[in-house]
Structure 1
Amino acid sequence: MDYELIKLKYPNIVKNNNIVLKRNTQIEMENSQISSVYYNIQKLILVSYILVASEEGRQLKLQKQTY
């Protein structure tokens, strides 16, 4: 069946389909934003772990020097 014919016969279905497609696109965009935020949080956590580890390493070095 031709798309134009479907539009004439079932205008509501076509309209609803377009609404659903738009909503899906919006959800996909939101998901990608959420995943990028999550990725950045993971990077921040990793960096903070590295900073803490290097700080603890520095403390250990200082303690070794004082003994």
Structure 2
Amino acid sequence: MKRKEMVFEKLKELCMKKYKNLGNKTLKRFGFSAQELSEILNLDRANVSKDLNELVKEKK
């Protein structure tokens, strides 16, 4: 699996967990920083940031 795919899959996983934890509460916007993802995936923050920017350009 490519690094960008790893970042995308982990981001989806984290978003689903966060969404489920909200329960019946009002849906709020939430997100994760490149720093948070890089620490979770044990990757360089700059590379994660690059991958996130590419994913945005791909509209994922």
Q: Report the TM-score when normalising by structure 1.
A: 0.33
Comparing both structures, which one devotes a greater share of its residues to helix? 1
Q: Report the TM-score when normalising by structure 2.
A: 0.37
Give the number of the structure whose alpha-carbon radius of gyration is greater.
Answer: 1
